[in-house]
Amino acid sequence: MAVNSSLTEEQKQMNPPLAGSDVENESQKDADLNEETSEINESPESVLLADSSAEKATQGFDSDLEVEGPAKASVGIMGAELYLEACRLMEVVPVSHFIQNLNKPYINLNHHGLGPKGVKAIAIALVSNVSVTHLELEDNCILAEGAVCIAEMLRENSCLQELNISNNHLDTAGAEAIASLLLDNMSYLHAIQLSGNNFGEETAPYFAEALMGNYQVKELDLSHNEFSEKGGQLLGQMLANNTTLEILDLSWNYLKRKGTVALSRGLRGNGTLKILNLSWNGIGNEGAVALGEALKVNNALVHLDISNNQINNEGAKKFCRSLEINGELKILKMANNPLTVEGATALVTSVRKNPKSMMEEINISNVLVNETFIKLLDLVYRTQPELDVIYGEVEGCIAKIPKQHPSPMKVIQNYLKDHNLGLWDFLRNIDKDGNMKIPVAAFRRAMMQQSSIPLDRVQIGELVRKLDRNQTGFVDYSHLKEQKLAQKPVEGEIEEEKKKEP
């Protein structure tokens, strides 16, 4: 779909140029700019009014967002003033939060009820904006019309890098507008969220074609849409050719077995995708097996989510064969599949067999395990202390008295007092990079290797949950630096950490 930035003939007839305007006079003086200024020789007010009038006249939506004209002819009418004028002519109420943050990098307008006209005014104001890098517009019912306006703006804007337009009922026409923008590599976007926009199979060719040659977008969220088997095939072809995309979220679609098998073919040769979310797609055992085959040769993926996909022990066992070979995958989420301790044991055993395994987390949080599994886990932790297996309850432990162990923070406190150290010093010694953010896997490994601190696997897990309460994947101790400079006592540091505990 061609997206034009010039006025249509109908718009020009409805709103003839203003005689004697400054822009028109300037265009007559400068012959080199004749072609360009002939398209923008109206004032911002007249251009916006023409756009609004055309909307009302056609009773539909105008695909020609007049953003280039206002941006280049808006001498002295910039930023907030331009936005307020656009709102007046679009007959929408200005959003004060938008005006107040126009000079900041992040603007969140989620759930503001903007509608297509409201987002059109925002798009006009952002055409030449050089401050906003991240814009949130989720759940604003902007429809396809609003998507066209956003796409037009992005063709001119050279600053916006992250955009969220999820849950906006963009439908097929909106998908076509956004895909056309990506196909032309006309924007500076590297992250775009398009979740929940009623994108069906008919939109899959747009995105597949656009992303095959796109070299800008690194993060793409297409979750909660309606892609199914054909979509999986086309997006798989895209993955086989794309050399930029690093994060792809296809959760809550309908890929099922055939779609996942096709997608997996493309994943085999992909060398850039790091995170793939396929949860809630009904991929079943065959889909899991296909993904496993891809992981045997893929050397880029580090995070795979196949939770809630009807994968049972049989599928898990076949999938596990890839974990005996793959040396890159770090996080595997398989929660809420119909697995038992048999499937859980197969997963852990396959990681144990692989000396090249980089696995840091296996999430099977719904699986009821037994004492035999716990013993296996303790055995694996001796050689792979960075691994964290998240499982459900331990069978029969309800009837037993829970094993008591000292608080890990108390154990560390005693160690620090005995060695006259502060918590900052202790964590700094573990931090190999020195950036005050220790990856959880590295922290686990370091704690398991601290022979002078008697903490077992369970205690270390508890410690990680306290030090990484927001599950960022890092133990961030930067807030302790000022305390270190003030020489705060060890007891005070520990007590402060305890206060932060939920």
CATH code where residue 413 lies: 1.10.238
Burial (CB count <10 Å: 0-12, 13-18, 19+), residue 319: buried
Q: What Cα–Cα distance (Å) separates residue 205 from each residue in 21, 47, 176, 196, 450?
A: 45, 35, 9, 18, 54
Contacts of 330 (CB under 8 A, 6+ apart): 302, 303, 358, 359, 360, 361, 441
- Backbone CA torsion sign across 483, 487, 493, 494: positive
Six-digit token pair at 177? Answer: 């507008």
pLDDT of residue 458: 80
Asked whether residue 293 is domain-assigned, the answer is no
What is the domain count for the chain? 1
Asked whether residue 8 is domain-assigned, the answer is no
- Residue 241 CB neighbour total at 10 angstroms: 13
pLDDT of residue 23: 37
Angle between helix 423-430 and 408-418 (nearest 10): 100
pLDDT of residue 486: 55
**DSSP, res 134:** E
Asked whether residue 488 is domain-assigned, the answer is yes
Q: What angle do CA 493, 498, 502 make, to 5 degrees?
A: 145
Beta strands in 88-133 (DSSP E): 106-108
pLDDT of residue 69: 43
- State how far the Cα of 210 lies from the Cα of 206, in Å rounded to an integer: 6
pLDDT of residue 75: 34
pLDDT of residue 475: 87
Q: What Cα–Cα distance (Å) separates residue 301 from each residue in 78, 144, 271, 498?
A: 45, 34, 8, 37
Asked whether residue 15 is domain-assigned, the answer is no
Pairing relation of β-strands 437-439 and 474-476?
Answer: antiparallel
pLDDT of residue 5: 40
Asked whether residue 152 is domain-assigned, the answer is no
pLDDT of residue 98: 97
- State how far the Cα of 295 lies from the Cα of 306, in Å rounded to an integer: 13
pLDDT of residue 164: 98
Angle between helix 171-183 and 143-156 (nearest 10): 10
pLDDT of residue 299: 94
Contacts of 466 (CB under 8 A, 6+ apart): 408, 409, 497, 501
Asked whether residue 133 is domain-assigned, the answer is no
pLDDT of residue 461: 81
pLDDT of residue 135: 98
CA 295 vs. chain centroid, Å, equals 22
Asked whether residue 115 is domain-assigned, the answer is no
Q: What Cα–Cα distance (Å) separates residue 76 from each residue in 4, 71, 390?
A: 26, 11, 59
pLDDT of residue 495: 54
Asked whether residue 333 is domain-assigned, the answer is no
Q: pTM to 2 decimals? A: 0.79
- State how far the Cα of 418 lies from the Cα of 412, in Å rounded to an integer: 10
Q: What is the helix (H) or strand (E) element at residue 333, kind and residue range?
A: strand 331-333
pLDDT of residue 435: 85
Domain interval for residue 420? 408-500
pLDDT of residue 17: 39
pLDDT of residue 7: 27
Question: Of 455, 331, 324, 308, nearest to 390 (Cα)?
Answer: 331
User: Along the chain (502 residues), what's the average pLDDT of each consecutive run of 10 residues?
Assistant: 36 36 41 39 39 40 43 53 95 96 97 98 96 98 98 96 98 98 95 98 97 96 97 97 97 97 97 98 98 97 98 98 97 98 97 95 96 94 91 72 69 82 82 85 82 80 83 82 55 53 52
